[in-house]
Amino acid sequence: MKRPLLIVVFVFIVSAVMLSACGGGTPTSESSIPKEYAGKTNPYAGDADAIAAGKVLFEAQCSSCHGPGGKGDGPAGQALNPPAADLTKVTEGDDYEFYRISEGGGFAPYNSAMPPHKSTLTEDQIWKIISFVDSLK
Ligand code: HEC
């Protein structure tokens, strides 16, 4: 009677170990992008008209802080703490850029003056701006 019980216990332990190995992975950097933004991709990637339209929007909405070439050297951006980011150095994906432009930086871990744009720009306009920013890299 003892052996079958041992086998059941053994099988139970092995499957518990396997389950935890598969399910309990360490968080990736993507986990800092909220669910509603994660995985979004730019419908205009590389589109010349979108880049031109994005440039006009960027000059009006972003260059005062980020500078005309996105290098973080706009007149209003350098005095900020933290200073405006050099957007040519952003290595994260479209979804990260879309998230940061939509939500800004007024919360941890950013705690910055980066303003949210989700109520002042349409999704379409944000993607065109991202097309322009990506063309600067
Ligand atoms: C009032 C100044 C200001 C304006 C206007 C502004 N930003 Fe920012 N932005 C910042 C600051 C400061 C940071 C750096 C701190 C942070 O990551 O929040 C930043 C960070 C970012 C980041 C994240 C960069 C990184 O390295 O992770 C992106 C992307 C960005 N801005 C895009 C834009 C775009 C596009 C616009 C225009 C639609 C814009 N910002 C308008 C101040 C500004």
The mean pLDDT value for 118-123 works out to 98
Query: CB of 130 closer than 6 A to ligand 1?
Result: no
pLDDT reading at 132 higher than 90: yes
- Preceding omega of 68 cis (within 30 degrees of 0): no
> Which is it for the CA torsion 118, 119, 123, 127, positive or negative?
negative
pTM assigned to the model: 0.83
- Tell me what pLDDT residue 28 has: 43
Tell me which of 94, 102, 107, 114 to substitute to probe ligand 1's pocket, judged by most ligand atoms within 8 Å of the beta carbon. Answer: 114
* Closest to 67 in 3D by CA, of 51, 89, 80, 84: 84
**Per-residue pLDDT tens over the stretch 33-69:** 999 999 999 999 999 999 999 999 999 999 999 999 9
Query: CB of 38 closer than 6 A to ligand 1?
Result: no
Residue found by looking up tokens 């079958």 in the block:
4
Q: Within 13 Å and on the Cβ side, how many CA atoms surround 36?
A: 5
Domains, the chain, in order of start with CATH, read 34-135 (1.10.760.10)
Query: CB of 80 closer than 6 A to ligand 1?
Result: yes
